[in-house]
């Protein structure tokens, strides 16, 4: 009997010594708060957000350049003001894409591997889209009366193609990332290590 009370006293003493917080509050100690996310932990989220924004702007530019292509113009009609408005809106979106691309290029070394590849795939198309948009605007500034020019029509066509390529590229990379997350999730559920 003495040995069992001595054992109980020893256990209480050990618990008191090793876990004073347990007895001080009457409950188990709380886990330490999670450490704040480091800069590199937040980079993939920022890169994903910027890529999504580039895709959104690309959708808008694709739609605007399709408007430039689809006008059923009759010789002699003046669509200069309409085109100027459409190109001005496209320029705003393209400028935003340029800014986002510069930010992406700064973050690229810290981005996930698939994001690095996405940036590398999208960057040339954003640069080319900027060039074609500027070319169309320059043409429009100097040739208000000649919107049937093959050079101007080609600029509008290439704007559409480049914007479409950007949208599809980002979309494909986003699907890839989503599929990878799903595979990891399923692997964890099935307890399969990668």
- pLDDT for 124 beyond 70: yes
Q: Do residues 97 and 69 share a domain?
A: yes
Range of the domain at 16: 1-30
Domain assignment of residue 49, yes or no: yes
Q: If pLDDT is split at 50, 70 and 90, which confidence band does 169 have? A: very high
Q: For the chain, what is the domain count?
A: 2
Q: Please indicate, yes or no, if residue 123 is contained in any of the structural domains.
A: yes
Angle formed by the axes of helices 80-107 and 113-142, to 10°?
150
Q: Are residue 127 and residue 183 in the same domain, yes or no? A: yes
Together in a domain, 84 and 1: no
Is 0.75 surpassed by the pTM of this model? no
Based on the fold, state whether residues 46 and 137 are members of the same structural domain: yes
90, 51: one domain? yes
| CATH code of residue 87 | 1.20.1440
Q: Is residue 72 part of a domain?
A: yes
Reference 98, options 129, 121, 68; nearest CA is 129
- Which tokens belong to 130? 């900027």
The 10s digit of each residue's pLDDT in 58-86 is 999 999 999 988 765 555 455 788 888 99
Q: Kindly give the interhelix angle for 150-189 and 39-70, rounded to the nearest 10 degrees.
A: 140
Q: Half-sphere exposure of 159 toward its Cβ, with a 13 Å CA cutoff? A: 33
Question: Domain check: are 15 and 44 in the same one?
Answer: no
Query: Is the pLDDT confidence value at 113 over 60?
Result: yes
181: in domain: yes
Residue 194 lies in a domain: no
Verify that 87 and 6 share a domain, yes or no.
no
Whether 4 and 79 map to the same domain: the answer is: no
Whether residues 24 and 43 share a domain: the answer is: no
Q: What pLDDT, on the 0 to 100 scale, is given for residue 16?
A: 41
Nearest residue to 57 via CA among 114, 109, 122, 115: 122
User: 11-20, 62-71, 81-90, 168-177 — which one is most confidently predicted on average?
Assistant: 168-177
* Rounded Cα gap, residues 14 and 181, in angstroms: 45
Q: How far is CA 154 from CA 65, 68, 71, 140, 193, in A?
A: 11, 11, 14, 13, 52
Are 61 and 8 contained in the same domain? Answer: no
* Tally of residues, the chain: 194
Task: Indicate if 148 and 175 belong to the same structural domain.
Answer: yes
Structure tokens at 74: 């009759």
- Count CA within 13 A, CB hemisphere, residue 28: 3
């Amino acid at each position: 009997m003495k040995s069992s009370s001595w054992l109980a006293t020893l256990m209480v003493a050990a618990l008191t010594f090793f876990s004073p917080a347990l007895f001080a509050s009457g409950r188990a100690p709380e886990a330490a708060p999670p450490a704040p996310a480091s800069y590199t932990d937040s980079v993939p989220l920022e890169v994903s957000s910027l890529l999504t924004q580039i895709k959104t702007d690309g959708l808008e530019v694709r739609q605007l350049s399709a408007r430039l292509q689809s006008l059923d113009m009759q010789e002699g009609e003046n669509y200069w003001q309409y085109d100027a408005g459409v190109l001005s809106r496209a320029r705003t979106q393209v400028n935003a894409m340029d800014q986002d691309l510069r930010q992406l290029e700064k973050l690229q070394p810290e981005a996930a591997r698939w994001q690095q590849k996405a940036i590398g795939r999208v960057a040339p198309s954003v640069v080319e889209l900027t060039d074609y948009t500027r070319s169309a605007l320059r043409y429009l500034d100097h040739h208000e009366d000649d919107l049937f020019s093959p050079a101007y029509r080609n600029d509008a066509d290439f704007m559409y193609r480049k914007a479409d390529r950007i949208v599809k590229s980002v979309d494909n990379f986003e699907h890839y990332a989503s599929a990878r997350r799903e595979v990891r999730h399923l692997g964890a559920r099935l307890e399969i290590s990668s």
